[in-house]
Amino acid sequence: MSRYDDVKHLMKGRTISRIVYDAPTIAARVHELGMEIGRAYPDGDLLVLGLLKGSFIFLSDLVRQIPRPLQVDFLVASSYGNETVSSGLVRLVYDPETVLEGKHILLVEDIIDSGRTLNRLIEILSTRRPRSLEICALLHKRLAPDLVRDARFLGFDAPHEFLVGYGLDHAEDFRSLPFVASLAD
């Protein structure tokens, strides 16, 4: 299922304007990222922390391309309140059970947009005294003016369009599309 015609029946009547990253393109980039991550952590315990829900497909493909031992856990962050208030409104509704202290933590995110969620998560996770704390994002819209920490590992610079598929949703739909597409208005 890599062509739009093959997945039309999943679209609930919506259409996409174009496929931005097709499945083979994503797979090739995820393989390169996995190798890069493997080289970046020659020693120590590596904990790959996926930010749910958007990262679940990316993370599951990515960890299978990282050629070194690692552990996996997840975070669920919840945003609150008024969009015009920009700080402090993210809390963890699921917190990893594993101890973070002394481990290399690789936080995996689907897409960096305003960067608000990541900024707050970096603050929260830093207090757990990890050995290192880095971000791996599949997509980056390069819209965030003041990221506390930028992604060390990045799949693609994304266009400024609303993207769905490969884990990314619109109102919880379209996560299972095997590619990343731009949703038509």
Contact residue for ligand IMP among 41, 57, 110, 134 (CB under 6 A): 110
Residue nearest to ligand IMP (CB): 114
Give yes or no: 113 in active site. yes
Q: Which residue among the candidates 73, 113, 150, 157 is catalytic per the annotation? A: 113
Contact residue for ligand IMP among 111, 125, 135, 177 (CB under 6 A): 111
Contact residue for ligand IMP among 163, 175, 177, 178 (CB under 6 A): 163
Q: Is the dihedral of CA 120, 121, 122, 128 positive or negative?
A: positive
Q: Does 167 bind ligand IMP (CB under 6 A)?
A: no
133 vs 149: CA distance, rounded Å: 9
Nearer to ligand IMP (CB atom), residue 41 or residue 177: 177
Structure tokens at 104: 């290399």
The 10 Å Cβ neighbour count of residue 3 is 12
Q: 56-63 and 23-40 helices cross at what angle (nearest 10)?
A: 60
Q: Does 115 bind ligand IMP (CB under 6 A)?
A: yes
Q: How far is CA 22 from CA 25, 26, 27, 38, 147, in A?
A: 5, 6, 9, 24, 28
* Residue 46 C-beta: closest distance to ligand IMP, Å: 22
| Binding range to ligand IMP, per CB under 6 A, among 5-13, 57-65, 67-75, 162-170 | 162-170
* Residue 3 C-beta: closest distance to ligand IMP, Å: 21
Q: How many CA atoms lie within 13 A of 138 on its CB side?
A: 30
136 vs 47: CA distance, rounded Å: 12
Contact residue for ligand IMP among 103, 104, 116, 140 (CB under 6 A): 116
Q: In this structure, what DSSP letter does residue 8 have? A: G
Nearer to ligand IMP (CB atom), residue 38 or residue 77: 77
Q: Does 109 bind ligand IMP (CB under 6 A)?
A: yes
Q: What share of the chain is helix, strand, coil (3-state, %, to 5)?
A: 25, 30, 45
Catalytically active residues, by annotation: 113
Positions that interact with ligand IMP (CB under 6 A)? 54, 109-117, 162-163, 168
